[in-house]
A and B are shown apart, each in its own frame.
Chain A
Amino acid sequence: MTGFAAGLVILVSAWNPAVVAERSAATTARWLGLAAAAVAAVTIALFTDPILSGLDVSIPTFRTAAGAVVALTGARWLAGSPPRPDEGSATLLGFIDGATPAVVAAAMAVTAVDGWWMTVVTTAIALLATLGLQRVDAAPGSVAWLRRLIAGVAVAAGVALIYAGIRAV
């Protein structure tokens, strides 16, 4: 569970652009909030080594835990009700959309093994995918199906991350 493809699957599925797109249309303020969340996740990921050291946790153990978070988040998207529209500060809401435990855990898990640049690139792709989905004129219900599909991928990616953590020294 290493390399660009794996990192991309983990981060994009943990982010799930369809969940964000289903909840809200694209606005500059919302997008700024999402971008701020992405920057925050990447910034935290940059400090993965000292954070894990401070927590007294090894990289494989952290990846196992991160996998559990991503898988459970995916399961909630699959089994739970669809995201509801929201109102209020669009920037704050965008930040809440992106700065989730799953995204931060995934960013740290990817950084721990593949390095910070991988996290930057894959997080940027997740962000752009969200923007694209918000702007595209999709058929009714198609974004909901995409949300479920990515949720399923998140479950699979989380389980794979758990397995990778267990099967590491």
Chain B
Amino acid sequence: MSEHNDTVTARRRLATAGVAWLVAAALLRTTLLAPEACPAFSADDARASAVAAVEWIAVNQGDDGRYLYLYNRETGATPDAYNLVRHAGTTMAVYQLVAAGETQYLEAGDRATEYMLARMVPTGEDAAGWSEPGRDLQLGAAALMTISLLIRRDATGDPKYDTELRELGRFMVGQQRPDGVMLERWLRATEAPNPEQRSRYATGEALWAFAYLHDTFPGEDWDDAAWRTLDYLSLRRDDEERLFPNPWPDQWAAYSLGQMAAWDLEPHQIEYARSLAAQFGVQVRWDSQRTGGLATLTHPPEPRGAGFGTVLEGLGRIGVLASTDERLADIDAALAERLVCGAARLADAQITADEVVGADPALEIGAWFLNDETRMDDQQHAASGMLFAEAVLRGAEK
């Protein structure tokens, strides 16, 4: 500033501008504009990661078909907690790997399937769900069991569970309201669905199961149920159930949209897919900026295998839709890029033989740990996501 009035000199303005540029550049580079790190990654790397994850699931499975649910490598604890929906979902991931050619895991998947079959409960005429004795039935458990059996059917060509598939499908239809809302629980006490309880996960799981049933058994009207619930998801669910962010990044909805890629989706359903894709894409971009130092502090939180795996699943399945439907062709390449980047980062965090810290390597190799704890769905979702990344990378190789 000049000495005699409120005028600033050119030198002062130049210095101020220089400081503004430096401060802006430094702040941005450590926050919003931190570099996005995507390690080199191949289709073989993705397959190896998926195999290691499912190997963890299989070697730690009990003789009764139950998986190891939780393991803390610091304390060595393996709590007796269990989750039936995750049991069915993990079986789905095992069968996905079988379908990809890793048939050595068919036995593990079948053992887990027997666990579910032994707990099936009739809920009406030719309808059945499954649960532990005395416990209410969950829509999500039935839906993911359905999907597991359908993937097994596709992988082996074996139709031996077709009766159970239709029973499960009819159970799910019984949980559906006419407006497409899916009810999460079937109560043993009333022998009817609980009209009050919904689930942010089970709705998309049921939708995928309906769509997959229709593709497997065309002409049986499973698509009617699928369309109803897809419209509920794409038009009303997030508002009615007050989910945040909106749209809620629902990888089960993404699986469904991928399954329905050839169904000639309506414009609002395509827009829903586009919005979902953005939710998944931004999560990979954000995580890829966690490159250490200040950038890690400014890009929390450290994701767990399950959470980040669902992001990869979402990207992979909407990628299937985008590669089929021209209306999403503009995001096809970006979806593939984010999927591969995310998979590479996730694979980097997977425990290898060199990184084992506990007494039993089988409890650690192939797993993802957060705060020294791993849960079976960390491996489940990550393995599924890796398979989608592998498919993209194999396509790129061609």
Contact = CB atoms under 8 A, between A and B. Distances in A.
A85 B282 CA distance: 43
Nearest to B18: A96
Interface string A85-109: 1111100110010011100000000
B282 A101 contact: no
A60 B281 contact: yes
Contact of A93 (B10, B289, B337): B10
A128 interface: no
A169 interface: yes
A84 B6 contact: yes
A100 B278 CA distance: 30
Interface in B262-307: 275, 277-278, 280-282, 285, 289
A167 B275 contact: yes
Nearest to B341: A58
A166 B278 CA distance: 7
A163 B10 CA distance: 37
B33 A65 contact: yes
Given A101-B24, A169-B278, A169-B335, A62 B33 contact: yes
A62 B28 CA distance: 10
Nearest to A61: B285
Nearest to A54: B35
B14 A96 contact: yes
B24 A60 contact: no
B197 interface: no
Name B's interface SS: helix
A86 B337 CA distance: 49
B191 interface: no
A86 B13 contact: yes
A68 interface: yes
Contact of B8 (A57, A84, A166, A167): A84
A71 to B, nearest CB: 12
Contact of A68 (B32, B278, B285, B289): B32
Nearest to A87: B7
B345 interface: no
Nearest to A93: B10
B282 A166 contact: yes
Nearest to A85: B7
A137 interface: no
A87 B335 CA distance: 52
B11 interface: yes
A68 B298 CA distance: 15
Contact of B10 (A69, A92, A167): A92
B17 to A, nearest CB: 5
B310 to A, nearest CB: 16
B187 interface: no
B338 interface: yes
Nearest to B5: A85
Contact of A85 (B6, B33, B334): B6
Contacts of B371: none
A64 interface: yes
B370 interface: no
B10 A89 contact: yes
A100 B17 contact: yes
A100 B19 CA distance: 11
A100 B8 contact: no
Given A55-B35, A169-B277, A86 B20 contact: no
Contact of B9 (A56, A88, A169): A88
Contact of B36 (A61, A85, A86, A96): A61
A93 B13 CA distance: 8
A68 B27 CA distance: 11
Interface in B1-46: 1-2, 6-11, 13-14, 17, 20-21, 24-25, 28, 31-33, 35-37
B331 interface: yes
Given A58-B285, A64-B32, A87 B2 contact: yes
A139 interface: no
Contacts of A92: 10, 14
A168 interface: yes
Interface in A73-92: 84-89, 92
A84 B7 contact: yes
Interface string A36-76: 00000000000000000001111011101100110000000
Interface of B: 1-2, 6-11, 13-14, 17, 20-21, 24-25, 28, 31-33, 35-37, 275, 277-278, 280-282, 285, 289, 331, 334-335, 337-338
Given A56-B35, A65-B28, 4 more contacts: A58-B36, A84-B1, A85-B7, A87-B7
Interface of A: 55-58, 60-62, 64-65, 68-69, 84-89, 92-93, 96, 99-101, 166-169
25 contacts: A57-B33, A58-B285, A58-B334, A60-B281, A61-B36, A61-B289, A68-B28, A86-B7, A87-B9, A87-B10, A89-B10, A92-B10, A96-B14, A96-B17, A101-B24, A101-B25, A167-B278, A167-B282, A168-B278, A168-B282, A168-B334, A169-B277, A169-B278, A169-B335, A169-B338
A-B pairs, 10 with minimum CB distance: A88-B10, A169-B281, A56-B35, A65-B32, A169-B334, A101-B24, A65-B33, A167-B278, A169-B331, A86-B8
